[in-house]
Amino acid sequence: MNNMYTFDTSTLWAALPEIFLLSAIVVVLLLDLFLTKPFKQATYYLTQISLFITGVMAFNLINQPQIIIFSSSFILDNMASVFKVFMIGSTMVAMVYTRHYLTQHALFRGEYFVLVLLSVLGMMVMVSGYSLLTLYLGLEILSLSLYTLIAIARERAGAIEAALKYFVLGAIASGLLLYGMSMIYGISGSINIIDIANFAANADLASRETLILNFGLVFLVIGIAFKLGAVPFHMWVPDVYEGAPTSVTLFLSTVPKVAAVAMLVRILVDGLGAMHAYWADLFMVLAVLSIALGSVVALMQTNIKRLLAYSTISHVGFIMLGFVTGVISGYGAAVFYVFVYILMSLAAFGIVILLNKKGFEADQISDFKGLSNYSPWFALMMLVVMLSMAGVPPFIGFYAKFFILQQVISAGFITLAVVAVIFAVISAYYYLQIIKSMYFEEADKDITITAPMSMQLVLSINAVLILVVGIFPDFWIKLSLSLF
């Protein structure tokens, strides 16, 4: 490759969505400065329009032949494009829910949307990053935006605490990741994923010289586990989920997981795929611990945001199980699980936000009491989401678990599958608690829904999709498998 270290403008089109989004961010930021109060809503619409156009651009790049540009540090392949479209779509949905929350709690500021756009940009860079440096830069753009987003509710002590906690722990994680990267660079002599992959494939992994490769790998896995929120690197998850404004939690718990998985795929599968046997063992431990702790500790939660945080941890465990298998179809199962998880998580937090009113955060499980009387429709939707998360067919969550289990069993880890299903049953208990509140108990306060029709409509579609895709999952399964 002669053009490896040259800047070739003819391939810039491959990064068109990122370039457009960056320009849009600047425009939105500047415009917001000059918008007077009555026109503040314009920022929201501009954000949605920018996201939409970026999404269309990314969509048009699907099925382009794979291309690696910018001195081998940026890749455009189907995985990147599909992930980008999915992240942007999810962000747009999240923004619809977010707007209701922000207006109810007087947090509606232009910066909020700019920060969201910035974090999306960071995630897009992560998804397309093909060198350790690009990946790290993308991660930092994402993380710094998120820290600030959490702290945007600056009057709330909980939010500040959450932001600081997330910042400190996130910084440590980034440090570990960076340390691991430097080890890998030190031994392989390159930060490009291709070169690292070549090096790892040709290295004698048992020799003393490559011990440092292993050493670096451990730090990389820790860094990634931190970002995913896998046990034992999960401590920040419940606190941050609880402390952050719900709209931020909604965003934080959904879209960045896609980016984290993309980073995982780039580094561990594309880069260090030859060392799968080494990192799969680590993943197995992380996965089992996450599923177990996520299922058991959630039983004691009364705050629904914390509960969903532990539920996320357990879902992350399942996602990691897919990577343990070490086969393409297993990775496909993991990616399918991510898609499904995002769909469910968006709907779950969407319904939490739906119940929000001025001065009322519906963040306790008891706030759902009697919802089936006040709003049978959304109670039914929440029922669908909860059962789907528990893995009950015919909802989509079942097929995600089923796919993972099928892969795990096919890879020969039957015990692992049995452990996973036992904890899945345990976790069903707390999902049932929410159903219990909604259906079996009477309301003790007025929970009439005041959210705008647009949000109710999007939320309904979101939740109905959980059922519909559950009945016709074929397309999504095939799509997830085609990415590898």
Which residues of the shown chain bind other proteins in the complex (CB under 8 A)? 372, 376, 380, 383, 387, 392-394, 398-399, 402, 405-406, 409-410, 414, 417-418, 421-422, 424-425, 428-429, 432, 435-436, 439-441, 473-474, 477-478, 481
In the bound state with other proteins, the residue whose beta carbon lies nearer, of 271 and 294, is 294
Query: Of 323, 230, 228, which is closest to residue 277 (Cα–Cα)?
Result: 323
Question: Nearest distance from residue 353's CB to other proteins, in Å?
Answer: 25
Helix 16-34 vs helix 41-60: angle between axes, to the nearest 10 degrees? 170
In the bound state with other proteins, the residue whose beta carbon lies nearer, of 228 and 438, is 438
> What Å distances lie between residue 3 and 8, 66, 67, 146, 188, CA to CA?
8, 16, 13, 36, 21
- Angle (CA) 398 400 403, round 5°: 105
Question: Nearest distance from residue 327's CB to other proteins, in Å?
Answer: 12
Question: Nearest distance from residue 3's CB to other proteins, in Å?
Answer: 39
Determine the Cα–Cα distance for residues 226 and 235; give it in Å rounded to an integer: 9
Question: Nearest distance from residue 463's CB to other proteins, in Å?
Answer: 15
In the bound state with other proteins, the residue whose beta carbon lies nearer, of 284 and 409, is 409
In the bound state with other proteins, the residue whose beta carbon lies nearer, of 218 and 464, is 464
> What Å distances lie between residue 71 and 24, 77, 195, 445, CA to CA?
25, 16, 12, 60
Question: Nearest distance from residue 394's CB to other proteins, in Å?
Answer: 5
Question: Nearest distance from residue 31's CB to other proteins, in Å?
Answer: 44
- Angle (CA) 353 169 305, round 5°: 20
Helix/strand/coil for 191: coil
One-letter amino acid at 11 equals T
In the bound state with other proteins, the residue whose beta carbon lies nearer, of 443 and 481, is 481
CA atoms within 13 A of residue 397's CA, in its CB half-sphere: 27
In the bound state with other proteins, the residue whose beta carbon lies nearer, of 137 and 479, is 479
In the bound state with other proteins, the residue whose beta carbon lies nearer, of 214 and 406, is 406
CA 193, 194, 195, 199 torsion: positive or negative?
positive
Question: Nearest distance from residue 50's CB to other proteins, in Å?
Answer: 36
CA end-to-end span of the chain: 24
In the bound state with other proteins, the residue whose beta carbon lies nearer, of 147 and 310, is 310
Determine the Cα–Cα distance for residues 102 and 95; give it in Å rounded to an integer: 10
Question: Nearest distance from residue 82's CB to other proteins, in Å?
Answer: 17
Query: Of 226, 231, 212, which is closest to residue 176 (Cα–Cα)?
Result: 226
**The residue to which tokens 């599968």 are assigned:** 269
Determine the Cα–Cα distance for residues 279 and 208; give it in Å rounded to an integer: 18
Query: Of 277, 273, 118, which is closest to residue 202 (Cα–Cα)?
Result: 273
In the bound state with other proteins, the residue whose beta carbon lies nearer, of 142 and 386, is 386
CA 138, 140, 143, 145 torsion: positive or negative?
negative
Determine the Cα–Cα distance for residues 477 and 334; give it in Å rounded to an integer: 10
- Angle (CA) 101 106 107, round 5°: 70
Question: Nearest distance from residue 410's CB to other proteins, in Å?
Answer: 5
Question: Nearest distance from residue 483's CB to other proteins, in Å?
Answer: 14
Specify whether the CB–CB gap between 395 and 384 falls below 8 A.
Answer: yes
In the bound state with other proteins, the residue whose beta carbon lies nearer, of 233 and 423, is 423
**The residue to which tokens 């999306």 are assigned:** 120
> What Å distances lie between residue 316 and 73, 202, 234, 272, 392, CA to CA?
28, 32, 10, 21, 18
Question: Nearest distance from residue 365's CB to other proteins, in Å?
Answer: 13
Helix/strand/coil for 75: strand
In the bound state with other proteins, the residue whose beta carbon lies nearer, of 30 and 418, is 418
Specify whether the CB–CB gap between 139 and 224 falls below 8 A.
Answer: no
In the bound state with other proteins, the residue whose beta carbon lies nearer, of 179 and 402, is 402
Question: Nearest distance from residue 302's CB to other proteins, in Å?
Answer: 16
